[in-house]
Amino acid sequence: MTTLVETKPETRALTTVPFLRFDPGHGSRTVRWVAPILTLVVVLGVWTLVSTQLLSPTRQFLLPSPWEVLEAGFLEQAGRTEIFTALWSTTKVALVGLLLAMAIGVFFAIVMSQARWAEASFYPYAVILQTIPILAMVPLLGFWFGYEFTSRLIVCVLHSLFPIITNTMFGIASVDDNLHDQFSLFHASRWQRLIHLQLPAALPAALAGFRISAGMAVVGSIIADFFFRQGQPGIGRLIDTYRQSLDTDLMMAALAASSLVGIALFLLFGAVLRAVEAHRSPRR
């Protein structure tokens, strides 16, 4: 059976941002690793200078030094335990919410790609849902579903759903017309065309959508932590607690820790995307 041809240029443009892919063929591998490290060193140096030299002693609590943040949040057992316990609670919400968003988003993308009436019926509401500020929905969700895990999960799903729908639909619609003609010659059914042609061709674009939504799921779960305070506290609630008590060092440590989940998911989907693209590329 004829293999899938290379995706269209616009598909590659969507899924292959040079820096984000860390492509060794684009520039020197050494530069790509050294440049971010040097940037981090400069930022930490400026941060330390401002914190220890430019701020008056009475205002240094507003911007603790990097060492103070590291010590309070990661080296001392009390701060480390508190932060990572809350982070695990937020991570569970983000992971479950992301999985649900992936399932719901791919399902609706498939339905809308197979029937114009479905796209006309559902897609406008997906756009409307994306434009509604998630914070405006928080009070209603609390009234309807309570202030615990369920409401956090719904916020997470709503916040991360749209990129999955749009990217998957784009991937399905970007299949080469010649391949559709070949499937028509073999009298392939709509189901066979979807399973063997459209979904495999849409995989890179869908993975790019998953990668975007992964970070949005983490942000959504942290937002939900701020407002739905019943049940096990998450990292968002902990950050707000540190803010109220002016524990700036712990607050900044919690902020740094909260980014770890998003970075890990981003790198995971990036690795899967590169593996899929490498498998699909013609061998030389």
Residue 7: the pLDDT is 43
CATH number of domain containing 271:
1.10.3720.10
**Is 107 inside any structural domain?**
yes
**Is 111 inside any structural domain?**
yes
**Is 229 inside any structural domain?**
yes
Residue 282: the pLDDT is 59
- Low-confidence spans in the chain with pLDDT less than 70: 1-28, 281-284
- Positive or negative, the CA dihedral 64, 67, 70, 75 is negative
**Is 131 inside any structural domain?**
yes
Residue 107: the pLDDT is 96
**Is 202 inside any structural domain?**
yes
Report the alpha-carbon distance of residue 4 to residue 201 in Å, rounded: 7
Residue 54: the pLDDT is 87
**Is 26 inside any structural domain?**
no
pLDDT tens by residue, 76-128: 998 899 999 999 999 999 999 999 999 999 999 999 998 889 999 999 999 99
**Is 33 inside any structural domain?**
no
Spell out where the chain has E strands: none
Segments forming the whole domain that contains residue 245:
64-280
**Is 211 inside any structural domain?**
yes
Q: What is the DSSP letter of 27?
A: S
Residue 283: the pLDDT is 52
Specify the number of domains making up the chain: 1
pLDDT tens by residue, 137-149: 888 888 898 888 8
